A and B are shown apart, each in its own frame.
Chain A
């Protein structure tokens, strides 16, 4: 190849250079590395096949390493002596690092092939004999579609976590992998969201039961494991099960979003919220609460989403507490949450609610603190959807006027509540103060702008009149001093001008007496 390119630099090309390198008699092509099309195809297939086999071997090796890491962590079945526990993270890391890298690299290129490779290793046939959901035969390419950093990180964390669990850890890992393969083999379009949800919930239930029954785990440790399992599984499945196409979640999202936009005029007083936003701490809490509830959309794991809701709720509680100097009750909390949701207009609210409802571990959703706040959020969403004049203590006419944008309650209120606020707006609220300040700056700017405009205009006028004035002046001067052609004395060449020319005086004839 190299000599060929060298020679190609020259003008003359040998006939032999044009022929196929394999010497089959056909002409070769530079694009096929000097081979003819037939030989090139053969060569290419061979290389490809080899690569596939290499990949296969690598995957197999890594899988064995991974399994060995598990085996070493609980292999001797006896008491785990300290040395082995200390050593176990290392092989784990070593095997995991290249594996995730391998996975990422592969998914970029040959998605199909990798899934088949994975299928080989996924212990779908061996594990969980009682589960009928294990029958997925053809893993679709979609499962390894996302090998983003997030997913890799989560997989890594998950494996690390399971390593501490010895034998059950291995079992859990197997089950989860099998489940993910199985889930992604099902086309999302084929299953309704409820069926997907049921699959996931069944899996949680079965795994939890198994951990409780078979491995005799305490309820706390099982819960801990289930949290990790949920995190792992839902991170992997997020794309395919969040807001699936089979549902009208997206439509509802849009409807809710528009609804909240249309309700922009709802004031804190109408909802009877006991939060005083003029207290700086409270308004800070409100801002944080809004941020938290918006952040919910960016999380993948249901539990993380719940965490956002809980943080948001805590902010609201502290806001109410600051305002009233008392811990808040549900009577205060729910209106405040509704207010926050109205202000935040969280993206994809309905999808998120549905997603959490479908795929969160049910025990947490139904009983725990997170569940309580989530229920309140559902309630707030439902309230906003059904909100009418009565629920805001307004007359239907007023409600209608506000909805159509003909009137704004804020103006009415400010006139009614603070009649003498206008002459001297006392900057109680930092926001208002800022607003006033901005207005002052703006009016200052506009007056300066005006004076600048005036100056510019006078300058323009000046400039326009300047040529005139110059012209006039010139004219005047011309008139004053009309052009007179003075008939100058034409000086003769021989004019006697002895002073001017330094010529020596003409020679005068001198008579020499003689």
Chain B
């Protein structure tokens, strides 16, 4: 598995128990494990090849620990990421606040990183509309403002999950060329220094 070539790094961000791992698990293994430990299923790193047009793009999906005690270290994780899926729980208002925090961080530190805002557990809302804490339009407005994309997914039913990752891969494919040309003209040389991501965290 480690021998697998990975084209792009996709990092999962979000508060604890919003369902980051479930989302990955659903996407990669097409399953949803029901149990008391819903927040702790799946593997932490997955390399997943995706067919985009005629090409196959392998996404390396990085799960992160959502606990606040590791918040200071999260910058180490998303360094060099091409895409970040920032998750929030549709039934949890505070998780959206945390999502805003991460979006801000990403915008400050990783300009090459494309942001996907993902409201999870949409199946719960379909069952009972009163559970919804985050208005769809509010979230939509926010994502428009930051130039991100917005999805509402359910890892339980699989609703919108494949679409989300497919979009990530497609966007990567279309931006990869721009990025590569930018690299060749030498614009990226300054960026390179930043790629010593450990030392960066070290200094902050």
Chain A residues closer than 8 Å to B45, beta-carbon distance: 369, 372-373
Measured CA separation A383–B77 after assembly (Å) = 13
**Chain B window 57-72, contacts with chain A (Cβ cutoff 8 Å), 1 for yes, 0 for no:** 0001011111101101
Q: Which of A317, A378, A379, A383 contacts B43 (CB 8 A)?
A: A317
Known contacts A324-B40, A369-B45, A372-B62; decide if A386 and B72 are in contact (CB<8 Å).
yes
Measured CA separation A387–B64 after assembly (Å) = 19
Chain A residues closer than 8 Å to B21, beta-carbon distance: 329-331
Chain A residues closer than 8 Å to B63, beta-carbon distance: 329-330
Chain A residues closer than 8 Å to B67, beta-carbon distance: 331
Measured CA separation A124–B15 after assembly (Å) = 54
- Which of A317, A333, A358 has the most B CB atoms < 10 Å from its CB? A333
Q: Which of A354, A369, A375 contacts B47 (CB 8 A)?
A: A369
Q: Which of B9, B42, B201 contacts A382 (CB 8 A)?
A: B201
Chain B interface (Cβ < 8 Å from any Cβ of A): 1-2, 4-9, 16, 20-21, 33, 35, 37, 39-45, 47, 60, 62-67, 69-70, 72-73, 76-77, 79-80, 192-193, 195-199, 201-202
Known contacts A220-B5, A334-B65, A372-B60; decide if A379 and B73 are in contact (CB<8 Å).
yes
Chain B residues closer than 8 Å to A369, beta-carbon distance: 1-2, 4, 6, 45, 47, 60
Chain B residues closer than 8 Å to A329, beta-carbon distance: 20-21, 39-44, 63
Flag if A327 contacts B42 (CB, 8 Å): yes
Chain B residues closer than 8 Å to A372, beta-carbon distance: 44-45, 60, 62
* Residues 316-375 (chain A) with a chain B CB within 8 angstroms: 317, 324, 326-335, 353-354, 357-358, 362, 366-373, 375
Known contacts A194-B193, A382-B201; decide if A368 and B4 are in contact (CB<8 Å).
yes
Cβ of A55 < 8 Å from any Cβ of B? no
Measured CA separation A382–B202 after assembly (Å) = 7
Flag if B202 contacts A326 (CB, 8 Å): no
Flag if B44 contacts A333 (CB, 8 Å): yes
Flag if B70 contacts A379 (CB, 8 Å): yes
Chain A interface (Cβ < 8 Å from any Cβ of B): 194, 197-198, 201, 219-220, 223, 274, 310, 317, 324, 326-335, 353-354, 357-358, 362, 366-373, 375-376, 378-379, 381-383, 386, 390-391
Q: Which of B33, B60, B65, B72 contacts A326 (CB 8 A)?
A: B33
Chain B residues closer than 8 Å to A330, beta-carbon distance: 20-21, 44, 62-66
Flag if A331 contacts B2 (CB, 8 Å): no
Known contacts A372-B44, A383-B73; decide if A367 and B192 are in contact (CB<8 Å).
no
- Which of A194, A326, A366, A391 has the most B CB atoms < 10 Å from its CB? A366
Flag if B76 contacts A367 (CB, 8 Å): no
* A-B complex: 6 closest residue pairs judged by Cβ atoms: A329-B21, A330-B63, A366-B80, A372-B45, A367-B6, A334-B65
Measured CA separation A330–B42 after assembly (Å) = 9
Known contacts A329-B40, A367-B80; decide if A378 and B198 are in contact (CB<8 Å).
yes
Chain B residues closer than 8 Å to A378, beta-carbon distance: 73, 76, 197-198, 201
Flag if B16 contacts A331 (CB, 8 Å): yes
Chain A residues closer than 8 Å to B66, beta-carbon distance: 330-331
- Which of A198, A201, A372, A391 has the most B CB atoms < 10 Å from its CB? A372
The chain A residue sitting closest to B74, CB to CB, is A379
Flag if A327 contacts B4 (CB, 8 Å): no
Instruction: For residue A269, give the distance in angstroms from its CB to the closest CB of chain B.
Output: 14
Chain B residues closer than 8 Å to A327, beta-carbon distance: 41-43
Measured CA separation A223–B8 after assembly (Å) = 15
Chain B residues closer than 8 Å to A198, beta-carbon distance: 192-193
Measured CA separation A329–B64 after assembly (Å) = 8
| Other A-B pairs beyond A330-B20, A367-B60, A369-B2, 15, CB < 8 Å | A219-B5, A317-B44, A326-B35, A328-B40, A331-B67, A367-B7, A367-B80, A368-B2, A368-B5, A371-B9, A372-B60, A376-B44, A378-B73, A378-B198, A383-B72
Measured CA separation A331–B87 after assembly (Å) = 15
The chain A residue sitting closest to B60, CB to CB, is A367
- Which of B42, B60, B73, B193 has the most A CB atoms < 10 Å from its CB? B73
Measured CA separation A90–B84 after assembly (Å) = 52
Chain A residues closer than 8 Å to B80, beta-carbon distance: 366-367
Measured CA separation A499–B177 after assembly (Å) = 145
Chain A residues closer than 8 Å to B20, beta-carbon distance: 329-330
Chain A residues closer than 8 Å to B5, beta-carbon distance: 219-220, 223, 368
Chain A residues closer than 8 Å to B7, beta-carbon distance: 367
Chain B residues closer than 8 Å to A353, beta-carbon distance: 198
**Can you show 9 pairs from A to B with CB atoms below 8 A apart?**
A220-B5, A317-B43, A329-B40, A329-B41, A329-B63, A354-B198, A367-B8, A369-B2, A375-B197
Q: Which of B35, B40, B41, B77 contacts A375 (CB 8 A)?
A: B77
Chain B residues closer than 8 Å to A366, beta-carbon distance: 9, 79-80, 195
Chain A residues closer than 8 Å to B8, beta-carbon distance: 367
Instruction: For residue A302, give the distance in angstroms from its CB to the closest CB of chain B.
Output: 13
Measured CA separation A317–B70 after assembly (Å) = 19
Chain B residues closer than 8 Å to A326, beta-carbon distance: 33, 35, 37, 40-41
Measured CA separation A373–B44 after assembly (Å) = 9
Measured CA separation A362–B183 after assembly (Å) = 14
Chain B residues closer than 8 Å to A368, beta-carbon distance: 2, 4-6, 47, 60
